[in-house]
């Protein structure tokens, strides 16, 4: 599917004049105030209406809700206050389940590292295109999930994450457990502080994410007990989660998305600035070029520029040995999920032959949670391996099992009993 989409779009680029997205319209809102106003994590800094479209013309379907762009206070990987952006969507449809309207705090998969790829900007465009800088095209990949959840009465707040979308020189703190968890927890807090919504301040909250977004969702579930204890968290959905970043090297080597190695490296450097120079020193000239380019790209261009590349040409030494030494060893270990009992039930959805986040790593995290007394359900998708280096087994199962996942989440908001399967993992 990824190949077909890319070929189609590449053909369109060749036939039609280059598109030029107007990013200047976002600069005022997305430039954080300096210094940040005084406040607490989750406090709103600024808000404005946000146009919601599934595609640029807004004629082919719609979100049944009203969007509000938000900027709120959160806490980065170093424990420092930071401005984070996102989108809150107030449903048009009523919540027909039990209790007050539920809030879903949603983290997306990585749409890229450039600020133009932020989910809150893609809600306005449906498809981002700015072809004057290359194949800078990106879809709001998860809009179908979000539109479906919204239509069923869930209020939704989607975070951009620390460093994404905001107009600064820094890169997103991507796949950092602390930054990602804080941003999602504080998005829920910010949504509950918005005036004029149908949310109950004490109403139920759940976390939702896939791939990197699933890492953020589980991070939030682990951190809620200490960082957001006032939230009434009733569940967490995590699909295709990379629970142990150290195990991703083999799968990403030679992958269509091999260039996301740059995302990981830039995420580490943004989270721990003292490691930026050691990371650059470890890279070959080809690696440095990849590192710099991916910092301003959306996901499709990263895929096209670095598809099926091998990691050995980007690093001066054996990267598999490098991650066993500092600074990589401690940094990667810090991002592993499973060392802290999550708040509320957790539902893992994972393909047995996932080529991005290894199934055995997810199983190990689920078992760790079970050992800590957590309420865990691991649903194993058995879709057979298909074009492994395109990571189809990472992306497609979430859509195949989407209705099952939504049903599990709906049951959590309705207060239904869970059916954990710790004894079968």
Q: ∠ CA 204-143-4 to the nearest 5 degrees?
A: 145
Q: How far is CA 392 from CA 219, 334, 388, in A?
A: 25, 28, 7
Query: Is 88 a residue whose pLDDT tops 80?
Result: yes
Which backbone phi and psi does 333 adopt, to 5 degrees?
-65, -35
Last-in-domain residue among 303, 322, 341: 322
CATH of the domain at 408: 3.40.50.1820
Assess whether 179 and 303 both reside in one domain. no
Q: Is residue 401 part of a domain?
A: yes
- Average pLDDT estimate for 285-294: 97
Assess whether 127 and 210 both reside in one domain. yes
Assess whether 273 and 220 both reside in one domain. no
Q: What residues contact 417, with CB distance under 8 A and at least 6 apart?
A: none
Assess whether 274 and 196 both reside in one domain. no
Could you give the CA distance from residue 147 to residue 133 in angstroms, rounded to a whole number? 30
Whose tokens are 């204890």? That residue is: 229
**pLDDT confidence tier of residue 357, bands split at 50, 70 and 90:** confident
Assess whether 229 and 261 both reside in one domain. no
Q: Is residue 362 part of a domain?
A: yes
Taking all residues of the chain, what is their mean pLDDT, rounded to a whole number?
Answer: 93
Per-residue model confidence (pLDDT) at position 136: 87
Could you give the CA distance from residue 56 to residue 68 in angstroms, rounded to a whole number? 18
* pTM of full prediction above 0.85: yes
Assess whether 230 and 358 both reside in one domain. yes
Q: How far is CA 147 from CA 5, 63, 262, in A?
A: 21, 5, 31
The pair of three-digit structure tokens given for residue 375, joined into one six-digit string: 């309420």
Assess whether 298 and 231 both reside in one domain. no
Query: Is 18 a residue whose pLDDT tops 60?
Result: no
Report which of 93, 92, 84, 145 is spatially closest to residue 120, judged by C-alpha positions: 84
**pLDDT confidence tier of residue 132, bands split at 50, 70 and 90:** low
Question: At what angle are helices 402-413 and 143-151 packed, to 10 degrees?
Answer: 40
pLDDT digits (tens, 9 = 90+) for 110-127: 999 999 999 999 999 999
Assess whether 300 and 337 both reside in one domain. no
Q: Is residue 403 part of a domain?
A: yes
Query: Is 16 a residue whose pLDDT tops 60?
Result: no
Q: Is residue 299 part of a domain?
A: yes
Report which of 243, 286, 233 is spatially closest to residue 261, judged by C-alpha positions: 286
Which backbone phi and psi does 38 adopt, to 5 degrees?
-65, 150
Which backbone phi and psi does 89 adopt, to 5 degrees?
-125, 115
**Domain range enclosing 405:** 42-245+333-424
Q: What residues contact 1, with CB distance under 8 A and at least 6 apart?
A: 392, 395, 396
Contact by Cβ (8 Å): 106, 157 = yes
- Average pLDDT estimate for 42-71: 95
E-assigned strand segments in 194-261: 204-210, 232-239
Q: Is residue 48 part of a domain?
A: yes
**pLDDT confidence tier of residue 90, bands split at 50, 70 and 90:** very high
Assess whether 200 and 265 both reside in one domain. no
pLDDT digits (tens, 9 = 90+) for 255-270: 999 999 999 999 999 9
Assess whether 278 and 188 both reside in one domain. no
Q: Is residue 12 part of a domain?
A: no
pLDDT digits (tens, 9 = 90+) for 204-229: 999 999 999 999 999 999 999 999 99
Last-in-domain residue among 273, 299, 322: 322
Q: Is residue 2 part of a domain?
A: no
Assess whether 313 and 391 both reside in one domain. no
Number of domains making up the chain: 2
Q: In degrees to the nearest 10, what's the CA dihedral of 286, 287, 292, 298?
A: 100
Q: Is residue 176 part of a domain?
A: yes
């Amino acid at each position: 599917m990824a190949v077909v989409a890319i070929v189609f779009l590449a053909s369109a680029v060749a036939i039609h004049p280059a598109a030029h997205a107007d990013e200047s319209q976002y600069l005022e809102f997305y430039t954080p105030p300096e210094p940040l106003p005084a406040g607490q994590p989750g406090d709103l800094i600024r808000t404005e209406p946000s146009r919601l479209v599934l595609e640029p013309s807004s004629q082919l379907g719609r979100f049944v809700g009203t969007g509000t762009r938000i900027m709120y206070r959160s806490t980065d990987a170093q424990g420092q206050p930071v401005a984070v952006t996102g989108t809150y969507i107030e449903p048009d449809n009523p919540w027909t389940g039990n209790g007050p309207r539920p809030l879903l705090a949603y983290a997306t998969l990585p749409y890229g590292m450039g600020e133009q790829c932020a989910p809150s900007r893609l809600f306005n465009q449906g498809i981002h295109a700015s072809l004057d800088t290359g194949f800078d095209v990106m879809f709001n990949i998860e809009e179908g999930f979000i539109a479906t959840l919204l239509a069923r009465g869930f209020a939704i707040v989607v975070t951009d994450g620390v460093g994404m979308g905001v107009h600064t020189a820094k890169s997103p703190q991507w796949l950092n457990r602390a930054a990602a968890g804080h941003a999602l927890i504080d998005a829920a807090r910010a949504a509950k502080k918005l005036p004029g919504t149908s949310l109950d301040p004490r109403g139920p909250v759940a976390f939702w994410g896939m791939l990197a977004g699933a890492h953020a969702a589980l991070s939030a579930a682990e951190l809620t007990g200490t960082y957001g204890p006032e939230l009434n968290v009733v569940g967490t959905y995590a699909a295709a989660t990379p629970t142990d970043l150290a195990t991703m090297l083999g799968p990403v080597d030679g992958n269509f998305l091999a260039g996301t190695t740059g995302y990981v490296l830039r995420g580490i450097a943004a989270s721990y600035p003292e490691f930026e120079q050691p990371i650059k020193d470890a890279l070959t000239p080809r690696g440095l070029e990849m590192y710099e380019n991916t910092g301003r790209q959306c996901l499709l261009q990263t895929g096209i520029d670095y598809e099926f590349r091998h990691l050995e040409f980007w690093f001066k030494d054996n990267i598999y040995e490098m991650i066993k030494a500092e600074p990589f060893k401690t940094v990667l270990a810090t991002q592993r999920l499973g060392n802290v009992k999550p708040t509320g039930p957790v539902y893992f959805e994972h393909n047995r032959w996932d080529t991005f986040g290894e199934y055995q790593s997810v199983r190990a995290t689920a078992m760790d949670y079970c050992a800590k007394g957590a309420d865990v359900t691991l649903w194993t998708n058995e879709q057979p391996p298909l074009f492994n280096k395109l990571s189809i087994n990472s992306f497609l199962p979430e859509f195949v099992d989407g209705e099952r996942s939504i049903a599990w989440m709906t049951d959590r908001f309705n207060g239904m009993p869970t059916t954990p399967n710790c004894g079968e993992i």
